[in-house]
Amino acid sequence: MEKDDKLTYESKRVIGRLFRQVKHVELASDSSLNSGSIKSFTMEVAMKFYDPDMVVDGFEDYVKDAINYKSEYDYKLGNLMDYYGYKAEAEILSGSITAVSKNFNRGKDLESIHYAIKALRKEARTWFDEKSDMKPDINDVQAAKASAWYHVTYHPDYWGRCNKGMERDHFLSFPWCVFDKVIQIKRRNSSLK
């Protein structure tokens, strides 16, 4: 993807479409690479880039639970960020911190952060799997749940609702705890077009 020394083409697969959408969001955002600051996902960006392919019949039945789970996830992720001194969600999820405190032990703390994030994702996955069929292929209930998780994270009507009262950015990683289901929805709905 975008290697100068290689022949490139536009992939029609899901990962190619996601890559182009993320790239488009990055280009459309106001962030300046020279400023060194990381801009947050804004409501304007949410309105422009919400993916209607992620809407699945029956997702409305799971929105209330999705809001509760996202609020819990965001609270725990925010606490991890505060504890380890991360300023942006992308930093803690990637393990790339832009500014470290004097007490930050890169080897020990990065490993601790990795395990803490892994545990949080696993916990979110158990929330998703509650009262669900555990088959690897997506079924209607799983699709509706994953769609609700995506919806409360990315739809502009829900922007900022899960972190009210906290001075935190709107976090985006919640539905990606069930990335396999999200990708299956996108793949299935894209093939219907």
Predicted structure pTM score? 0.74
pLDDT for position 13 = 78
pLDDT at 33: 40
State the SS3 of 22-59.
HHHHHHHCCCCCCCCCCCCCCHHHHHHHCCHHHCCCCH
pLDDT at 37 over 80: no
d(CA 138, CA 65): 19
Percent helix / strand / coil, the chain, rounded to 5: 60, 0, 40
Higher pLDDT: 173 or 45? It is 173
- The predicted-structure confidence for 63-108, as pLDDT tens digits, reads as follows 999 999 999 999 999 999 888 888 888 888 887 766 666 566 666 7
* Domain boundaries along the sequence of the chain: 43-192
The pLDDT of residue 29 is 47
Q: What is the tens place of the pLDDT at every residue in 105-121?
A: 666 778 888 899 999 99
Each as own residue / partner, the long-range contacts of residues 15-24 (CB below 8 Å, 24 or more positions apart, any chain) are 17/186, 17/190, 18/186, 21/49, 21/51, 24/49
